[in-house]
């Protein structure tokens, strides 16, 4: 009797003999992930926001409509399976291609088949895996067949559609996000696997939790890992966490140094430093180390954080960040990573100020908006008689000869007038700088220069 997941229960049927006689050969067992493939949307695990009773796709099917969509999410979250189930639910022909192996000629053949099928009264759901790998012109080829109803397009991508897909394509398709599996949904998959295999997974509780973490949110991966465990186990054997890691090795984290994984983790690291959380900052730093990120890239980002988020609240922050970058460049791996970790903790625990960053942006905006204004003549050098005759340098007061070594003169172009870009905060060393600036502002006012 067939079970819920497409496997079979009860005693196995006797193998059929080979044609022409000879020894019997049992049919090879299909991979566990294939045997556990859901047969309805209700069986899909981990995407309840899409496939649950109140999910987006469930509502869409209930309304009797099915438009073009982009499925965005990490590997092993059910994008292909859900597309196939949708086609079956609405009785569309299901066609699948991969952008890795297909070109314009393949697309044209697919579109012609879909047109012929539509003329006979049956729509086509075209599932395009890795759709982001099509170039812009290839993506444009989908637009006419989407508009005239030749196909309902369902594209799958692991990359951010905003960056990888044409705006015209995105305007004609709804983007649905598939979430990575959490520990609960991965544990559900393991329970289903044990039900289909009709035997428990030979792992103790700790090893089972480690297996879930190894899957890294990938449902297909955890089923593949479970198969490896069953293949390795002898009768009556149960593996602990150490033995598990020896058996299945370690699965590399999902991380693409040029795409979303990279940008998400560096964003998390930067915000943890800005938020003065050294523990979280170290965690994300180590996540990126572990995934193979270039440590010198991380060193450069720490230098940026020191300038942007700490600034003059702690002038040593930039010195330490730059020193850590140089230390890694000098030591290399694995010794150099510790210098970057030290800098990360220092930056996260330093007083924070973006006053210099804010002042820089304001000054840059003023420089661009006001054009090539000439500085006031009293601060211009006059190396020639002609320039002296034009008034260059006239009225300049040498600050070292003034009381408090401060003249208070206005150094801005006359057409612009005095500006106040830099406004230090009362934290860290900037509190001292603020006192100095307040003092100079009082002197300027007293001397009629402000």
- Asked whether residue 87 falls in the same domain as residue 166, the answer is yes
Last residue of a domain, one of 296, 327, 349: 349
In a domain, 285, yes or no: yes
- Asked whether residue 327 falls in the same domain as residue 429, the answer is no
DSSP reduced 3-state for 70? strand
99: phi then psi, degrees, rounded to nearest 5: -65, -20
Q: Find all residues with CB under 8 Å of 195, minimum gap 6, and list them.
A: 3, 5
- Asked whether residue 434 falls in the same domain as residue 314, the answer is no
What tokens does 320 get? 């330490």
- Asked whether residue 345 falls in the same domain as residue 365, the answer is no
Nearest CA among 366, 359, 365 for reference residue 308: 359
Tell me which residue has tokens 């602990």.
240
- Running DSSP on this structure, what letter comes out for residue 18? P
In a domain, 198, yes or no: no
Last residue of a domain, one of 150, 177, 204: 177
Q: Find all residues with CB under 8 Å of 260, minimum gap 6, and list them.
A: 158, 159, 160
Band (pLDDT 50/70/90 cuts) for residue 242 is confident
Please state the domain count of the chain. Answer: 3
What tokens does 367 get? 């420089």
Tell me which residue has tokens 């005239």.
148
What tokens does 65 get? 């409509």
- Asked whether residue 293 falls in the same domain as residue 411, the answer is no
Q: Which secondary-structure segment (H or E) carries 364?
A: helix 355-370
CA–CA separation, 436 and 421 (whole Å): 16
In a domain, 13, yes or no: no
Band (pLDDT 50/70/90 cuts) for residue 8 is very low
pLDDT at residue 6 in the model: 35
Are 229 and 244 within 8 A, CB to CB?
A: yes
The boundaries of the domain holding residue 428 are: 355-446
H helices of 132-218, in order, are 136-140, 142-147, 161-164, 167-171, 183-197, 205-215
- Asked whether residue 422 falls in the same domain as residue 441, the answer is yes
What tokens does 430 get? 């900037």
CA–CA separation, 149 and 169 (whole Å): 14
Highest mean pLDDT among 235-244, 350-359, 385-394: 350-359
In the predicted structure, residue 253 carries a pLDDT above the cut 90: no
Least confident piece of the model among 252-261, 266-275, 299-308: 252-261
- Asked whether residue 313 falls in the same domain as residue 430, the answer is no
H helices of 122-166, in order, are 136-140, 142-147, 161-164
Q: Find all residues with CB under 8 Å of 353, minimum gap 6, and list them.
A: 309, 310, 311, 312, 313, 424, 425, 427, 428, 430
Could you read off the pLDDT of 100-112 as tens digits, one per residue? Answer: 888 888 889 999 9
What tokens does 102 get? 């297909």
Torsion of CA 71, 75, 281, 325, to 10 degrees: -110
In the predicted structure, residue 277 carries a pLDDT above the cut 50: yes
In a domain, 60, yes or no: yes
Residue 430 CB: number of other CB atoms within 10 A?
25
Nearest-Å Rg of the Cα atoms of the chain is: 33
In a domain, 236, yes or no: no
Could you read off the pLDDT of 278-296 as tens digits, one per residue? Answer: 999 999 999 888 887 889 9
- How many percent of the chain have pLDDT more than 90? 56
Last residue of a domain, one of 128, 155, 177: 177
The enclosing domain of 417 has a CATH number of 1.10.3710.10
């Amino acid at each position: 009797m067939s079970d819920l997941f497409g496997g079979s229960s009860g005693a196995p049927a006797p193998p059929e003999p080979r044609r022409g006689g000879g020894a019997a050969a049992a049919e090879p067992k299909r991979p566990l992930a294939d045997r556990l493939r859901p047969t309805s949307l209700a069986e899909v695990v981990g995407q309840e926001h899409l496939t649950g009773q109140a999910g987006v796709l469930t509502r869409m099917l209930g309304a009797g409509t099915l438009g073009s969509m982009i499925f965005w999410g990490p590997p092993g979250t059910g994008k292909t399976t859900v597309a196939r189930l949708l086609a079956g639910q609405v009785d569309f022909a299901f066609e699948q291609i991969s952008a890795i192996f297909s070109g314009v000629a393949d697309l044209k053949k697919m579109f012609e088949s879909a047109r012929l099928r539509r003329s006979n009264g049956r729509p086509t759901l075209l599932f395009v895996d890795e759709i982001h790998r099509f170039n812009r012109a290839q993506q444009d080829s989908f637009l006419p067949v989407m508009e005239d109803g030749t196909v309902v397009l369902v594209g799958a991508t692991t990359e951010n559609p905003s960056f990888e897909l044409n705006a015209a394509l995105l305007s004609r398709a709804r983007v649905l996000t598939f979430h990575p599996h959490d520990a609960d949904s991965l544990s559900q998959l393991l329970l289903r696997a044990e039900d289909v295999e009709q035997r428990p997974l030979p792992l103790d509780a700790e090893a089972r939790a480690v297996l879930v973490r190894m899957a890294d949110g990938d449902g297909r991966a955890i089923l593949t890992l479970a198969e490896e465990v069953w293949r390795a186990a002898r009768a009556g054997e149960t593996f602990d966490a150490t033995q598990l890691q020896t058996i299945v090795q370690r699965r590399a984290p999902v991380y693409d140094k040029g795409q979303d994984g990279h940008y998400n983790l560096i964003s998390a690291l930067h915000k943890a430093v800005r938020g003065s959380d050294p523990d979280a900052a170290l965690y994300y730093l180590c996540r990126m180390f572990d995934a193979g990120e270039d440590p010198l890239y991380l060193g450069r980002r720490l230098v940026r954080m020191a300038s942007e988020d700490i600034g003059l609240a702690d002038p040593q922050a930039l010195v330490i960040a730059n020193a850590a970058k140089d230390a890694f460049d000098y030591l290399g791996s694995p010794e150099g990573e510790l210098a970057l970790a030290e800098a990360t903790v220092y930056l996260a625990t330093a007083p924070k100020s973006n006053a210099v960053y804010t002042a820089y942006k304001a000054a840059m905006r003023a420089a661009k908006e006001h054009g090539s204004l000439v500085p006031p003549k009293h601060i211009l050098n006059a190396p020639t008689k002609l320039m002296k005759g034009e008034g260059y340098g006239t009225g300049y007061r040498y600050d070292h000869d003034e009381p408090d070594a401060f003249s208070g003169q206005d150094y801005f172009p006359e057409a612009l007038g005095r500006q106040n870009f830099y406004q230090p905060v009362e934290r860290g060393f900037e509190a001292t700088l603020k006192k100095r600036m307040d003092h100079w502002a009082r002197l300027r006012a007293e001397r009629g220069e402000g």
